[in-house]
Structures are given as C-alpha cells and as structure tokens.
Amino acid sequence: MAAEGKMTPTEYINHHLTNASVGEGFWTWHVDTLGIGIVLGAFFIWLFARVGRKATVGVPGKLQCFIEMVVGFVANTVNESFHAKSKLIAPLALTIFVWVFLMNLMKLIPVDWVPTFFGSLGVLFAGDLAKGYVSADAGFLERVMDHPWSYMKAAPTTDLNTTLALALGVFVLIIYYSIKHKGVGGFVKEMTMNPFNHWSMIPFNLVLETVTLLAKPLSLSLRLFGNLYAGELIFILIAMVGLWQLPMHFAWAVFHILVIVLQAFIFMMLTIVYLSMASEKH
C-alpha cells in the first residue's frame, strides 16, 4: 500500500495476479482456483443432468436446444477425430469443453469485483482487525484490499496449476490407451523402435519419443494458460485506466469471447487427437 492509502500500479498488478492460498512450499493450495473450479464443475453436472431428466421429444425449450447443440457438436467432433471404439471419449470431450469454457468465461467478470467482494466479507465477518491484518485507522477500501480474502482470482485457467492438472489427466489417459490397444510390448516397441526400426537406434529413439510424449501435456497446459493469463493481464491494465475502463473492458471482452471459446475447443480437440493416436496400432 502506498502512503496515501492507495495501491501503486505495481502493487495493484501484483495483487490481482496473486492467488488466495494456504500452506507453504509444495503443499500450497490455491483456494480460489480449487473453490471456483469445483463450483463450476458441479454447476456443469447439475445443469446437464437437470436438462437430461426433463428432456422432451416434442418441441424442446431454448435451454434443451442449446444443450443438444453442444452435445451434438462434441459428438460429431469425436466421431470425426477418434477412430477407435471407446465409451469414455465422448463424455470426456464434453466435460473438457464445457468445464474449460466455464472456467475461461469467468475472465469476463471485471477484475476488481471478485477481490472486492471476498475482501469485504473478510473485513465484515472474519475479524481482520483482531488478527492484525491491517491497522485500525485504515479506510474501508484499503482494509478490503489488504485482507487475505481479497486475493481471489476469478478464472481458474489463469492458474498454471489448473491447466497442468488437466493436462496430466490427459497424459495418464494417453499412457492407458496406448497400453490398452497395443499392449505393454507394443507400447515399449513404439517408444524404442520408432522412427528408426533398428536395435542400434534404440537409445536415440527412446529419447526422441519420450520428448514427443512429454511435449503433449506440456503444450496442452502452457497453450491454455498462456492465452488466458495474457488476456487477464490486459484486463488488469484496462482496469487501471479509471472511469474509461468500462467501454474498453467491454470492447476487449467482446474480442476475448472468441479466445475463450477457441481455447476450450483446442484443448478438447487436441485431447481427442492425442487419445486417437494412442489407440492406433502402427
């Protein structure tokens, strides 16, 4: 905090890029990422289950029509891209697309709203003065933004932990489908005898294929994180403009809707493609 009771630009940016966390070191938990991600996942399950239970074969409502369009779009994408047989791929692709989209969509909330809301709750109900978080003579807004609860980021996909966790889940499925369709021997042969089918090239092949295998989850996570993190930083810079931030925020948000949808689709599409490659026997 600056002496005049306001954040400097550097303090403001650092504040809005810092996650609310508990614990230390490796066991640091980002409670905003976990909480908002779990809530959005539960909302997705509840909404689709509710529409599914109330679905009618007659004239569908607007919500049912929209859900059917999303499910049909994902199903067609899976049918065109996944060439093996699996009952898991279509539900997995639908879950990835909708869940990542919802987490990305949280970026459209103005950057000050979520920190101010939770910081106000902390000041009003969490006994911040008794715990010595801020001085008693500080203004209310200063106390709000100094409170640990104000370090809340709205979009979980702007946290590398989220994108890496999603990508690691896909990586485990890649290994599983490779062994399931090719067997342990086939998987080992693919890693050691490809692209050069000669025993003398096994060390080179192993290094090359290991890098290729590890690059899949790494590229998945970094692509999603990089695009969403950069967009969030621009939203933060826009918020520092002052009274003119709303029209600028609206203009950037309209453009960013394309990024939000596109990144969810790319993550889903690459997951399908990677699992399809893992299921093919060469």
What is the SS3 assignment for 148?
helix
Does the annotation count 227 as an active-site position? yes
Does an H or E element contain 189, and which?
Answer: helix 160-192
Q: Of 118, 232, 216, 120, whose CA–CA distance to 174 is shortest?
A: 216
Helices of type H across 3-150: 9-16, 31-53, 62-81, 89-105, 113-125, 140-146
| Active site (annotated) includes residue 86 | no
Of 76, 79, 197, 219, which one is the catalytic site residue?
219
Geometric angle at alpha carbon 183, from 182 and 187, rounded to 5°: 70
Catalytic entry in 104, 178, 205, 227: 227
Indicate which residue of 76, 223, 276, 279 is catalytic.
223
Q: Is 53 a catalytic residue?
A: no
Q: What stretch of H or E contains 87? A: none
H or E element that contains 206:
helix 202-239
Catalytic positions: 219, 223, 227
